[in-house]
Structure 1
Amino acid sequence: MNDTPELGIGIGWRPEIAGTVEELSGVDWVEAVAENICPGHLPDSLVRLRERGVTVVPHGVSLGLGGADRPDARRLADLAARAEALGSPLVTEHIAFVRAGGPLAGTPVLEAGHLLPVPRTRDALRVLCENIRIAQDSLPVPLAVENIAALISWPHEEMSEGQFLAELVGRTGVRLLIDVANLHTNHVNRGEDPATALDELPVEAIAYVHVAGGTERDGVWHDTHAHPVTRPVLDVLAELRSRVAPPGVLLERDDDFPPAPELAGELTVIRETIEAAAAAPRRARTTATAGRPGGSAAAPGEDGGTDGAPARERLARRETALLSALVAGAPAPEGFDTGRLRVQSRALAAKRAGVIAKVAPELPEILGSGFRPAFLAYAADRPLHDGYRRDALEFAEHLLDGGGPEDPAARRRLTLWWKDRAGARPPRRATRLVRAARAALTGR
Structure 2
Amino acid sequence: MRLGTGIGWRPEIADAVEALPGIDWVEAVAENICAGHLPESLARLRGRGVTVVPHGVSLGLGGAGRPDPGRLADLAARAELLDAPLVTEHIAFVRAGGLLTASQVLEAGHLLPVPRTWDALEVLCENVRIAQDSLPVPLALENIAALISWPDEELTEGQFLAELVERTGVGLLIDVANLHTNHVNRGEDPATALDELPVEAIAYVHVAGGVEKDGVWHDTHAHPVTRPVLDVLSELRSRVDPPGVLLERDDDFPPAAELAGELAAIRDTLAASTSVPVPTRQRRVRAAEPSSRPAGARDRTAVAQTALLSSLVAGTPAPDGFDHRRLGVQSRALAAKRADVVAKVAPELPEILGDGYRQAFLAYARNRPMSAGYRRDALGFAEQLLVSGRPDDEAARRRLTRWWQERAAPRPPRRGTRLVRAARSALIGK
Q: TM-score, normalised by structure 2?
A: 0.96
**Separation in structure 2 between the aligned mates of residue 364 and residue 97 of structure 1, nearest angstrom:** 29
For residues 2-37 of structure 1, what are the alpha-carbon distances to aligned partners after superposition, in whole Å with 9 as ceiling and x for unaligned? xxx100000001111111111100100000001111
Measured after TM superposition, the shift of residue 297 of structure 1 is 10
2:282 match: secondary structure:
coil
**Separation in structure 2 between the aligned mates of residue 135 and residue 405 of structure 1, nearest angstrom:** 45
- Counterpart code for 1:141: V
For residues 398-423 of structure 1, what are the alpha-carbon distances to aligned partners after superposition, in whole Å with 9 as ceiling and x for unaligned? 11112221222222221221122222
Measured after TM superposition, the shift of residue 438 of structure 1 is 3.2
For residues 75-97 of structure 1, what are the alpha-carbon distances to aligned partners after superposition, in whole Å with 9 as ceiling and x for unaligned? 11111111111111111000000
Structure-2 residue corresponding to 1:381: 367
Structure-1 residue corresponding to 2:262: 266
**Separation in structure 1 between the aligned mates of residue 148 and residue 222 of structure 2, nearest angstrom:** 21
Instruction: Work out whether 1:145 is the aligned partner of 2:114.
Output: no
The list of structure 1 runs, each at least 4 consecutive aligned residues, that deviate by more than 4 angstroms after superposition, is: 282-286, 295-302, 439-444
Within the candidate set 215, 218, 226, 2:214 is matched to 218
Structure-2 residue corresponding to 1:355: 341
Measured after TM superposition, the shift of residue 43 of structure 1 is 1.1
Conserved? CA contact 1:199–1:289, under 8 Å: no
**Separation in structure 2 between the aligned mates of residue 105 and residue 68 of structure 1, nearest angstrom:** 10
Instruction: Work out whether 1:407 is the aligned partner of 2:414.
Output: no
Structure-2 residue corresponding to 1:184: 180
**Separation in structure 1 between the aligned mates of residue 21 and residue 117 of structure 2, nearest angstrom:** 44
Structure-1 residue corresponding to 2:118: 122
How many percent identity over aligned positions? 77
For residues 171-250 of structure 1, the aligned pairs below 5 Å read 171-250=167-246
- Counterpart code for 1:128: L
Measured after TM superposition, the shift of residue 74 of structure 1 is 1.3
Measured after TM superposition, the shift of residue 436 of structure 1 is 3.8
For residues 171-196 of structure 1, what are the alpha-carbon distances to aligned partners after superposition, in whole Å with 9 as ceiling and x for unaligned? 11111000000000000100101011
For residues 209-253 of structure 1, what are the alpha-carbon distances to aligned partners after superposition, in whole Å with 9 as ceiling and x for unaligned? 000000011111000001000011000000000111000000000
Instruction: Work out whether 1:35 is the aligned partner of 2:21.
Output: no
**Separation in structure 1 between the aligned mates of residue 49 and residue 415 of structure 2, nearest angstrom:** 59
For residues 330-389 of structure 1, what are the alpha-carbon distances to aligned partners after superposition, in whole Å with 9 as ceiling and x for unaligned? 110010111111110111111111110011001001111110111011001101111211
Structure-1 residue corresponding to 2:327: 341
- Counterpart code for 2:143: N
Conserved? CA contact 2:159–2:287, under 8 Å: no
Structure-2 residue corresponding to 1:77: 73
Instruction: Work out whether 1:9 is the aligned partner of 2:5.
Output: yes
Conserved? CA contact 2:195–2:283, under 8 Å: no
Structure-1 residue corresponding to 2:91: 95
1:290 match: secondary structure:
helix
Distance 1:124 1:401, change over 3 A: same
**Separation in structure 1 between the aligned mates of residue 109 and residue 140 of structure 2, nearest angstrom:** 21
Within the candidate set 5, 16, 21, 2:17 is matched to 21
**Separation in structure 2 between the aligned mates of residue 171 and residue 427 of structure 1, nearest angstrom:** 52
Within the candidate set 123, 128, 143, 1:132 is matched to 128
1:112 match: secondary structure:
strand
**Separation in structure 2 between the aligned mates of residue 207 and residue 137 of structure 1, nearest angstrom:** 19
Measured after TM superposition, the shift of residue 428 of structure 1 is 2.3
Instruction: Work out whether 1:395 is the aligned partner of 2:381.
Output: yes
Distance 1:267 1:260, change over 3 A: same
Measured after TM superposition, the shift of residue 38 of structure 1 is 2.1
**Separation in structure 1 between the aligned mates of residue 290 and residue 116 of structure 2, nearest angstrom:** 17
Instruction: Work out whether 1:290 is the aligned partner of 2:286.
Output: no
Conserved? CA contact 1:200–1:290, under 8 Å: no
**Separation in structure 1 between the aligned mates of residue 283 and residue 321 of structure 2, nearest angstrom:** 35
Distance 1:417 1:219, change over 3 A: same
Measured after TM superposition, the shift of residue 201 of structure 1 is 0.5
For residues 48-69 of structure 1, what are the alpha-carbon distances to aligned partners after superposition, in whole Å with 9 as ceiling and x for unaligned? 1111111110000011100111
For structure 2, the 5+ residue unaligned runs are none
Instruction: Work out whether 1:254 is the aligned partner of 2:240.
Output: no
**Separation in structure 2 between the aligned mates of residue 114 and residue 262 of structure 1, nearest angstrom:** 27
1:340 match: secondary structure:
helix
Conserved? CA contact 1:226–1:253, under 8 Å: yes
2:115 match: secondary structure:
coil
Aligned residues: 430
2:377 match: secondary structure:
helix
- Counterpart code for 2:307: A
**Separation in structure 2 between the aligned mates of residue 348 and residue 68 of structure 1, nearest angstrom:** 20
**Separation in structure 2 between the aligned mates of residue 291 and residue 83 of structure 1, nearest angstrom:** 34
Of stretches 146-155 and 414-423 in structure 1, the one that deviates more from structure 2 is 414-423
Measured after TM superposition, the shift of residue 394 of structure 1 is 0.9
For residues 310-335 of structure 1, what are the alpha-carbon distances to aligned partners after superposition, in whole Å with 9 as ceiling and x for unaligned? 10000000000001001111110010
Measured after TM superposition, the shift of residue 433 of structure 1 is 2.9
- Counterpart code for 1:117: P
For structure 1, the 5+ residue unaligned runs are none
**Separation in structure 1 between the aligned mates of residue 17 and residue 107 of structure 2, nearest angstrom:** 32
Instruction: Work out whether 1:323 is the aligned partner of 2:319.
Output: no
Conserved? CA contact 2:205–2:246, under 8 Å: yes
- Counterpart code for 1:61: V
2:273 match: secondary structure:
helix
